[in-house]
Amino acid sequence: MAKVACYVACVILLIGITWSVVHWNSPSTLEIAEKAAATGDNEAAIHAFRLHLTRFSEATDVRMKLAKLLVAVDSAESVEHFRLIPQGDANYQKALRQIALICLQSDRSAEALDVLLQLETLDPDDFAVQLSLAELYFHTENFKDALPRAVHAATLKPERSETWLLIAEIRDGLRQKPEMIVPLQKAIELSPDSYKAHLNLSYAFHAAGDLSGAATEARWCLQRNPDEVFALQILASVARDEGRFDDAAAGVKKALSLAPRNVDCRILEADLLLYHRKPKEAYARLKELHEEHAETYRYLGSLARAAAASGHIDEARQIHLALDGLRSEANRMIPQVSP
Amino acid sequence: MSSLCREKLQSRLVGTYILAAASAFVFWPHACLAYETPLRFEDVSGEAGIDFQHRSPLTTERHLHLFMGSGAGWLDYDRDGWPDLYLGQGKAFEDEDSKSQPSNRFLANSGDGVFRDVTESARLTNTDYSMGVAVGDFDNDGFPDVYVSSYGQNRLYHNNGDASFSEIATDRHVDDHRFGSSSTWADIDGDGDLDLFVTNYLRLDKDNYPLCKHTELGKTYHSGCHPRYQKHEYDILYRNEGNGTFTDISKASGLQSGLARCGLGVIATDLDNDGNVDFYVANDTVHNQLWINDGSGVFVDDALLAGVAVNRIGQAEAGMGLAAGDVDGDGLPDLFVTNYFGESNTFYRNEGFGFTDVTSEYGLAAPSKLRLAFGASLFDVDNDGWLDLFVANGHVHTEQPAMGRNEPFAQLPQLFRNQNGRRFGDASASSGDYFGRRLVGRASCVADFDRDGRLDLAVQHLNGAATLLRNKTASVGRVVQIELVGTESARDGNNAVVIVKAGDRKITRASIGSSSYLSSNDRRLSIGVGENDVADSVEVRWPGGRKEVWHSVPTSEVHRLIEGAGSAEN
């Protein structure tokens, strides 16, 4: 009996020695994974990382690597792995940033927002986080929350002209058009050839009553793009505001030759006709667009006044009813002052 | 061509140019007058003894009514021919019953350029938070009475004719306690006595005062509540029963046919040219109202279809003050409304069948985009026969700059010159030091207080000194000054329309009870007729429908036109 036991022990020892000899220099799963990742064999790397993590689940560095590799393959699983990085871990903030990035890239705005707000708490001066939050809020038309983030982002990295453009667009959303001017001027200072900034500045100047500024910026755009309808429209508006009605009419005519169904140009055209006491013509020109702009507030407002002035009283009444509906909707969207 | 021929030809050409230029001066005198004479006003408050300081201390919580300011009105209370000035006063939110509260002030014009305070002797002491000042002779005794709306109880001061007044609001049933703003007198039913229209703003109960905060850029500020979301109040129409008492006919007259609004400005004049007085009400952030009178004192709001409820793109604006007058010389009253910062003020041209928003086309949109305007006065500064425009500006939020917004609380006032009825030009920069001062402007009212033939201006400022601006425009046209006396229609000539023909000009002016914001102009009409020494004719259309004409009316004196004394002709 003792001989048998001794024999078994020897066999086990022999197997152990053989295993050790065979595997002494063979790589670990982690090494396999790292090697595969380094050679671009992501599939093998992912497999090996997963294998490693089945045994060493607390290895957050490895989990980060796996999650990063998974972004391109399976973003949902990638997010799951990033989420497993515990708070307090050195990789926690990086993981959150990755989750935010994935969510932003995959249009998962709600998740992105949640994560970005966590990141904002961890580091309020993280430029990327502030900018991302600003952009996210802007795209969901939450201008009120977008503004402080965009402004803070611009403070953190004032040399980035796009941030100033974003601030201007947020101000526009907040119906603070005159407040667009300063950030747009800043954007132009940083990127003198920014067409978008010049065009928006023209619009902002006009909204603020600075007619010469509006005209200067519109002309800058037209020098680069003579067919810029928006710039033509602003120049025509400036001419109208300065009492140069022939110039205004010529400008709007040119704009409409390029964009015959541009609603703002049509409204301007109708304005001029009404000023010249031609309400029937104004009504006819506006009426042509009714089908495509039946819910465009400013269009309906203009059509209502042209209809009333040209004797289409019942129609004017109906349009005002439609405007009431749109107005109620718009009022709901206005940020209410908190009691 | 010989040198001699060339010389002769040049000489003839030069002669032709000179003739053409001379013709321009002869045939277009108004054009020359309009473009060569700078408009000038001088602040003479100090030398005139106008030492009134408006007091409306702002609270930390920013109680809204404390931002509204108080009105002003010109009236010749003792009929000495010199217009006197009534100035409304504010009031602190706390210490309501304190006897130390400052009073409204009444300043009698001595005729020598100096005013003296006669508030106490005239028994006009009033320590309410005063808003609108409406002047009108409601009992047709020849002495102008004063109605003062308030944040508190409204007051009616009857002019006793002996340089004193008696407060009789309760006795006469016009002592409403709601938050009254502008008010105006007008004979709505053609019975020859003045009825009373009072706009109400919001329901701001002292014990249940809505307070708001606003957060921007991470900071939270106390801020006056947005009026659109507060409880609105119906306006009031009181019918003068002819026996000195009034009856509230707001509901019967149709004024409560729609939703209550938040009124700030009101003007009474015949806006649809049918011979009856109508009301136009400027409402804050909601539709303005145009109350068209059917002639019997029943009204329908026709503002939407008439084109004056909203601006050109259908948006309701924050209507504050109003002015009405024939700006373009077509004989019809046009309307000007002051609005909020970021909006523009709005100028509606009367087309006879409705109105067209021509603010941009008249050059009034761009200069008003970055202003929050209250008072507005249409008057002929240089007597060229065209109505010029004064606008008092000042914000209602103090915290905007701290929010990073370029919206100053104190703002520059503005003066616009009417360019022959076609357009306005901003004349502020060259019109005197006052127009370079940032102020919190509110009420404005017009009178020729020094009787020099030039219309002057009094302006109220929130928590600031009242300002008397003497018109110092150097070269002005001549003026026909008219005092109307109704015999069958209201005695003070309220709502009569006067048409002056002088040379090639036909100038239409209406006698309007109240205008601007919370204010009343002097009832005497000053009608500029440019270079003409004599008005060929003055036609008066009395509110009852009677038309009378006076011929060859000289410009050098004040004319008292009594109903029934003119030639009855068309």
Which residues on chain A are in Cβ contact (under 8 Å) with B423?
Answer: 243
Whether the Cβ atoms of residue A231 and residue A199 lie closer than 8 Å to each other: yes
What rounded mean pLDDT belongs to chain B?
A: 92
Q: Band of the pLDDT at B265, cuts 50, 70, 90?
A: very high
- Residues 27-46 of chain A with CB under 8 A from chain B are none
Mean pLDDT computed over B415-420: 97
What is the identity of the amino acid at A336?
Q
Mean pLDDT of B386-406: 93
Q: State pLDDT tens for residues B137-185.
A: 999 999 999 999 999 999 999 999 999 999 999 999 999 999 999 999 9
The predicted structure's pLDDT at residue B15: 43
Is residue A305 within 8 A of residue B307, CB to CB? The reply is yes
Contacts of A207 in chain B (CB under 8 A): 369
Interface list for A 90-149 with B (CB within 8 A): 144, 147-148
Q: What is the pLDDT of residues B429-444, one digit of tens each?
A: 999 999 999 999 999 9
pLDDT of B26 over the 50 cut:
no
Residue B63 distance to chain A (closest CA, Å): 13
Side chain identity at residue B138, one-letter code = F
Helices in A90-210 by DSSP H: which ranges?
92-105, 109-122, 127-139, 143-156, 161-173, 181-190, 195-207
Query: Does B113 contact A at CB distance below 8 Å?
Result: no
CB within 8 Å: A337 and B312 = no
Q: Rounded CA gap, B521 and B509, in Å?
A: 13
Task: Tell me which chain B residue has its CA closest to the CA of residue A264.
Answer: B313
Determine which of A144, A274, A310 to mutate to test the interface with B (most B C-beta atoms within 10 Å).
A274
- State the Cα–Cα distance between residues B329 and B379, nearest whole angstrom: 13
Q: What is the mean pLDDT of residues A109-117?
A: 94
Asked if the C-beta of A243 comes within 8 angstroms of chain B's C-beta atoms, the answer is yes
Closest chain B residue to A279 measured between Cα atoms? B356
Residue A13 reports pLDDT greater than 90? no
pLDDT band at A82 (very low <50, low <70, confident <90, very high): very high
Collapsed DSSP state (helix, strand, coil) of residue A78 = helix
B360 chain-A contacts, CB cut-off 8 A: 237, 240-241, 271
Which residue of A263, A326, A337 to mutate against B (max B Cβ within 10 Å)? A337
pLDDT at A330 over 80: no
Mutate to test the interface with B, among A212, A305, A329, A332 (most CBs of B within 10 A): A305
pLDDT band of B17, cuts 50, 70, 90: very low
**CA B173/CA B240 separation, integer angstroms:** 10
A328 touches chain B (CB under 8 A): no
pLDDT at A3: 74
Which residues in chain B have Cβ-Cβ distances shorter than 8 Å to A323? 314
Task: Determine the distance in angstroms separating the CA of A208 from the nearest CA of chain B, rounded to an integer.
Answer: 6
CB contact under 8 A, B405 and A207: no
pLDDT at B18 over 50: no
Cβ within 8 Å of A, B 340-359: 342, 344, 351, 353-354, 356-358
Please report which confidence band the pLDDT of residue B3 belongs to, taking 50, 70 and 90 as the band edges: very low
Confidence category of residue B380, pLDDT binned at 50, 70, 90: very high
What percent of chain A is predicted at pLDDT more than 90? 77
Chain A 257-276, CB below 8 Å of chain B: which residues? 267, 271, 274-275
What pLDDT score does A22 carry? 59
Sign of CA dihedral B41, B46, B50, B51: positive
For residues B95 and B66, give the distance between their C-alpha atoms in angstroms, rounded to a whole number.
Answer: 14
Whole-complex ipTM:
0.91
In the predicted model, what is the mean pLDDT of residues B461-477? 95
- B313 and A297 within 8 Å at the Cβ level: the answer is yes
Query: Tens digits of per-residue pLDDT, A35-73?
Result: 998 998 888 999 899 999 988 988 999 999 999 999 888
**Residue B373 amino acid letter:** A
CA distance linking residue B468 with residue B454, whole number of Å: 14
* Position B305 pLDDT exceeds 50: yes
pLDDT band at A326 (very low <50, low <70, confident <90, very high): confident
Query: How far does the CA of residue B213 sit from the closest CA of chain A (Å)?
Result: 5
Closest residue in chain B to residue A308, using alpha carbons only: B305
DSSP one-letter string for B1-38 = --HHHHHHHHHHHHHHHHHHHHHHHHH-HHHHHHHHS-
Best of B61, B287, B290, B304 to substitute, by most chain A Cβ atoms within 10 angstroms, is: B304
Note whether B540 and B496 are within 8 A (CB).
yes
**Angle between helical axes of A29-38 and A60-70 (0-180°, round to 10):** 40
**Which residue is it, tokens 């909204």?**
A207
How many contacts, defined by CB atoms under 8 Å, are there between A and B? 118
Q: Are A337 and B404 within 8 A, CB to CB? A: no
**A178 close to B (CB below 8 A):** yes
Q: Which residues of B touch A308 (CB under 8 A)?
A: 304-307, 354
Distance of alpha carbon A196 from alpha carbon A68, whole angstroms = 36
Tell me if chain A has a CB within 8 Å of the CB of B218.
yes
Spatial contact of B158 and B170, defined as CB atoms under 8 Å apart: no
Closest Cα in chain B to A148: B217
Indicate whether A19 pLDDT > 80. no
Band (pLDDT 50/70/90 cuts) for residue B94 is confident
Average pLDDT over residues B535-541: 97
Query: Of A37, A133, A50, which is closest to residue A84 (Cα–Cα)?
Result: A50
The Cα A331–Cα B287 span in angstroms is 14
CB-CB contact of A149 with A130 (8 Å): yes
Are the beta carbons of B307 and A305 separated by less than 8 Å? Answer: yes
Q: What is the pLDDT of residue B95?
A: 66
Reported as type and span, the H/E element at residue A43 is helix A42-55
The pLDDT of residue B24 is above 70: no
Looking at residue A6, its pLDDT comes to: 73
B185: nearest Cα among B260, B279, B296, B255: B279
Mean pLDDT of B370-377: 98
Decide which of A326 and B450 is more confident: B450
Tokens standing for B152?
Answer: 């508190």
B363 touches chain A (CB under 8 A): yes
The answer to whether the CB of B369 falls within 8 A of the CB of A207 is yes
- Extract the tokens encoding B403: 């929010």
Percent of chain B surpassing pLDDT 70: 92
Residue-wise DSSP of B311-371? -TTS---B---EEEE-SSSSSS-EEEE---BTB--EEEEE-SSSEEE-TTTTT-SGGGTT-
Chain B residues in contact with A338 by the CB 8 A cut-off are 212-215
Q: Kindly list the residues from chain A whose CB atom is less than 8 angstroms away from the CB atom of residue B363.
A: 241-243
CA-to-CA separations, B425 to B416, B460, B462, B545, in angstroms, rounded = 5, 24, 27, 36
Nearest Cα to Cα of residue A275 among B344, B358, B351: B358
Buried b (16+ CB within 10 A) or exposed e, B220-253: ebbbbbbbbebebbbbbbbbbeeeeebebbbeeb
Instruction: Compute the distance between CA of residue B495 and CA of residue B543 in angstroms, rounded to an integer.
Output: 6
Q: pLDDT-derived band of residue A295, with 50, 70 and 90 as boundaries?
A: very high
Q: Positive or negative, the Cα torsion across A39, A43, A47, A50? A: positive
Q: Is the pLDDT of residue B19 over 70?
A: no
| pLDDT of B206 higher than 90 | no
Chain B contact present for A322, CB below 8 A: no
Whether B372 contacts B394, CB under 8 Å: yes
Mean pLDDT calculated for residue range A142-166: 97
Global confidence as pTM = 0.90
Counting residues of chain B whose pLDDT is more than 90, the rounded percentage is 86
Question: What pLDDT was estimated at residue B40?
Answer: 97
Distance, in Å, from the CA atom of A113 to the CA atom of A105, rounded to the nearest integer, reads: 12
| CB of A310 closer than 8 Å to CB of A322 | no
A108-117, B27-36, B132-141: which is most confident: B132-141
Contact B354 A309 (CB under 8 A): yes
- pLDDT number for residue B476: 82
> For A270-278, what is the mean pLDDT?
98
Residue B272: name the closest of B497, B51, B548 by CA. B497
Å from B86 to nearest chain A CA? 36
Is the predicted pLDDT of residue B13 greater than 70, yes or no?
Answer: no
Question: Residue B162 is encoded by which pair of tokens?
Answer: 């002996």
Residue B25 reports pLDDT greater than 60: no
Q: How many CA atoms lie within 13 A of A322 on its CB side?
A: 19
Q: How confident is the model at residue A331 (pLDDT cuts 50, 70, 90)?
A: low
How far, CA to CA in Å, does B146 sit from each of B77, B137, B448, B519? 10, 8, 19, 11
Sequence-distant (≥ 6) Cβ neighbours of residue B369 within 8 angstroms: A178, A207, A208, A209, B342, B343, B344
Q: Do A309 and B405 touch (CB under 8 A)?
A: no
pLDDT tens column, A168-217: 999 999 999 999 999 999 999 999 999 999 999 999 999 999 999 999 99
Distance (Å, rounded) from C-alpha B39 to C-alpha B292?
36
Cβ of A298 within 8 Å of Cβ of B314? The answer is yes
In the predicted structure, residue B526 carries a pLDDT above the cut 60: yes
At residue B11, the pLDDT reads 42
Could you give the CA distance from residue A97 to residue B142 in angstroms, rounded to a whole number? 82
Token readout for B270 is 């015949």
* Averaged pLDDT for residues A267-282: 98
- A251 secondary structure, DSSP code: H
Is residue B38 within 8 A of residue B426, CB to CB? The reply is no
CA dist B447 → B85, B407, B440 (Å): 9, 32, 22
Higher-confidence residue of A198 and A329: namely A198
Q: pLDDT grade, residue A20 (50/70/90)?
A: low
From chain B residues 219-238, the ones with a CB under 8 A of any chain A CB are: 223, 225-226, 228-229
- pLDDT of A152 > 80? The answer is yes
Model confidence at B445: pLDDT above 90: yes
Among candidates B61, B375, B372, B340, which has minimal Cα distance to B204? B61
CB contact (8 A) between residue A267 and residue B313: yes
B492-495's contacts with Cβ under 8 Å and 24+ in sequence apart are B492/B136, B492/B137, B492/B140, B492/B144, B492/B194, B492/B523, B493/B523, B493/B542, B494/B136, B494/B137, B494/B185, B494/B186, B494/B187, B494/B194, B494/B523, B494/B543, B495/B186, B495/B187, B495/B268, B495/B269, B495/B270, B495/B277, B495/B543
| Cα B249 from Cα B198, distance rounded (Å) | 12
Q: How far is CA A127 from CA A117, A159, A167, in A?
A: 13, 12, 14
pLDDT at B218: 79
> B388-393 and B373-379 as β-strands: parallel, antiparallel, unpaired?
antiparallel
Question: Which residues are CB-neighbours of B299 under 8 A, at least 6 positions away?
Answer: B237, B253, B254, B255, B278, B279, B291, B292, B293
Chain B environment of A302 (Cβ under 8 Å): 312-314
Please check whether residue B348 is in contact with residue B358, taking contact to mean a CB–CB distance below 8 angstroms: yes
Within 8 A by CB and 6+ apart from B484, the residues are B492, B493, B496, B498, B511, B523, B525, B540, B561, B563
Q: How many angstroms separate the CA of residue B153 from the nearest CA in chain A?
A: 27
Looking at per-residue confidence, does A93 or B31 come out higher? A93
